[in-house]
């Protein structure tokens, strides 16, 4: 009947029942903090809209051309003509979406092809593609480490890693960021017979610093642990073939699982795990965040496959990106800004702000100058720090890096940070 088929719609503003708890009360401090920030006349750093995107490094924001220094488009692949052509062809050949899971109707030839591209890129036996990098961590971690197993991980790990740990219900043992000794101590306390997984990141995205993977992977292996490295922010850029930090420091063969994403250097969306583990393929049947969600649209995986194969031969772009990173790091340091790392270690350069208010003011001043960076704040950042995260692209020209430095100087002086 009508009454049964209609979903129940509560009154727009339901009258509170006696003793009823509003589940949103816990957000009140954050709502208040946001209100105060916006009432001070600043633009909302978390509601920026790009009205038009002109290239990997420029967009129209608030009606003006803006240099983008806060994207993950490290290798500038989003406007690559071959990548765009591959997407268009797949859109026409396969339609706009798969409407199904990878294990049912959602595996097309292009999904298989992007996994082949990943195997070629990493020189590994197995590759499994997820709908996002977040889901790749969620799925792989929760499926391989369950009740009774132990996960030893860096305290500054990405949210998707923490959420994967929580979903799998393994014992979680964090250690101080990048501290090899602390990691070893934790590992030695775990019962010898227990299953152990060490989770590390190649580049940590908030400060742009790199993990001491050579030592850490050695310690993990010596203590009988499997190792998963999230190379989200290093893929395409770091290492002789762009395979990441593990390749750069020569331990990639000792890493059991590399997790990555298509949403950064690859320039689209999607996540993956590659591995040489002989039983890896069983993951396709038991990994819930892989099975119980729709697969990526064919156009997305086709662009990813083309981009990944081009990244295999992108040594010149890698060299230019390193040059950009060094110049920006040195320039900002010379201007007197406090940075997240003493030397440039990745394409991310974090500029530390004294507090959220001045961080937001600086973010606004830069935007008015025509520069977009990321404003990052706790809880996403370590040690309660507010920072402006600059991420460089291989498509930024030398002139743009000079312009960026000038904008930082002007804004920094106006806000009183330098």
Question: What are the angstrom distances between the C-alpha of 6 and each of 1, 9, 11, 12, 13?
Answer: 9, 8, 15, 17, 20
- Find the binder of ligand PMP among 263, 303, 364, 374 (CB under 6 A): 263
Site string for ligand PMP, 281-320 (x = CB under 6 A): ----------------------------------------
Residues 269-288 interacting with ligand PMP (rule: CB under 6 A): 271
Are 198 and 167 in contact by the 8 Å Cβ rule? The answer is no
* 10: exposed, middle or buried (Cβ count in 10 Å: 0-12, 13-18, 19+): exposed
**Residue 209 is a binding residue for ligand PMP (CB under 6 A):** no
Q: Can you name the residues that pair with 223 across neighbouring β-strands?
A: none
The region, left, alpha or beta by phi > 0 then psi within -120 to 50, assigned to residue 267 is left
Give least dist CB 205 to ligand PMP, A: 4
The residues that bridge with 212 in the sheet, in sequence order, are none
Handedness of CA 374, 378, 380, 382 (dihedral sign): positive
178 binds ligand PMP per the rule CB under 6 A: no
Binding piece for ligand PMP, criterion CB under 6 A, among 74-82, 93-101, 130-138, 297-305? 130-138
The phi, psi pair for 91, rounded to 5°, reads -60, -45
In the bound state with ligand PMP, the residue whose beta carbon lies nearer, of 84 and 269, is 269
Question: Of 33-41, 127-135, 174-182, 276-284, which part binds ligand PMP (CB under 6 A)?
Answer: 127-135
Of 235 and 351, nearer to ligand PMP (C-beta) is 235
Size of the site for ligand PMP (CB under 6 A): 13
C-alpha closest to that of 311 among 71, 132, 73: 73
Q: How far is the CB of 248 from ligand PMP (least distance, A)?
A: 17
* Residue nearer to ligand PMP on the CB measure, 212 or 370: 212
According to the 3-state scheme, what is the secondary structure of 213-231?
HHHHHHHHHHCCCEEEEEC
Q: Which one, 159 or 282, has the nearer CB to ligand PMP?
A: 159
> Where along the sequence are the contacts to ligand PMP (CB under 6 A)?
132-134, 137, 158, 160, 201, 205, 230, 232, 261, 263, 271
């Amino acid at each position: 009947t009508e009454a049964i088929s209609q979903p129940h719609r509560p009154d727009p503003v339901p009258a509170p029942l006696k003793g009823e708890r509003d589940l949103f009360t816990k957000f009140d401090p954050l709502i208040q903090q946001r209100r105060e920030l916006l009432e001070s006349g600043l633009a909302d750093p978390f509601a920026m809209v790009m009205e038009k995107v002109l290239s990997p490094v420029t967009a129209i924001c608030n009606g003006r051309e803006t240099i983008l220094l806060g994207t993950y488009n490290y290798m500038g692949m989003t406007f690559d003509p071959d990548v765009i052509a591959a997407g268009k062809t797949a859109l026409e050949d396969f339609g706009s979406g798969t409407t199904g899971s990878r294990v049912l109707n959602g595996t097309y030839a292009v999904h298989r092809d992007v996994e082949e591209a990943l195997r070629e890129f990493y020189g590994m036996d197995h590759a499994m593609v997820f709908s996002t990098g977040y889901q790749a961590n969620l799925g792989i971690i929760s499926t391989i480490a369950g009740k009774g197993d132990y996960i030893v991980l860096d305290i500054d790990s990405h949210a998707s890693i923490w959420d994967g740990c929580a979903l799998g219900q393994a014992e979680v043992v964090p250690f101080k960021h990048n501290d090899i000794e602390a990691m070893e101590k934790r590992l030695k306390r775990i019962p010898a017979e227990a299953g152990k997984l060490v989770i590390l990141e190649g580049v940590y995205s908030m400060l742009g610093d790199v993990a001491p993977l050579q030592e850490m992977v050695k310690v993990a292996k010596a203590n009988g642990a499997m190792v998963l490295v999230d190379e989200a922010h290093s893929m395409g850029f770091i290492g002789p073939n762009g395979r990441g930090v593990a390749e750069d420091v020569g331990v990639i063969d000792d890493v059991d699982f590399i997790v990555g994403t298509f949403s950064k250097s690859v320039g689209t969306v999607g996540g993956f795990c590659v591995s040489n583990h002989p039983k890896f393929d069983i993951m396709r049947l038991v990994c819930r965040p892989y099975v119980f969600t729709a697969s990526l649209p064919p156009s997305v995986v086709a662009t990813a496959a083309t981009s990944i194969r081009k990244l295999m031969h992108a040594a010149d772009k890698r060299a230019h990106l390193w040059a950009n990173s060094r110049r920006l790091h040195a320039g900002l340091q010379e201007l007197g800004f406090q940075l997240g790392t003493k030397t440039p270690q990745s394409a991310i350069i974090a500029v530390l702000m004294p507090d959220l208010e001045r961080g937001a003011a600086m973010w606004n001043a830069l935007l008015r100058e025509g520069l977009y960076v990321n404003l990052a704040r706790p809880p996403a950042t370590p040690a309660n720090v507010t920072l402006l995260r600059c991420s460089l692209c291989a498509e930024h020209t030398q002139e743009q890096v000079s312009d960026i430095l000038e904008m930082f100087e002007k804004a920094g002086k106006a806000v009183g940070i330098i």
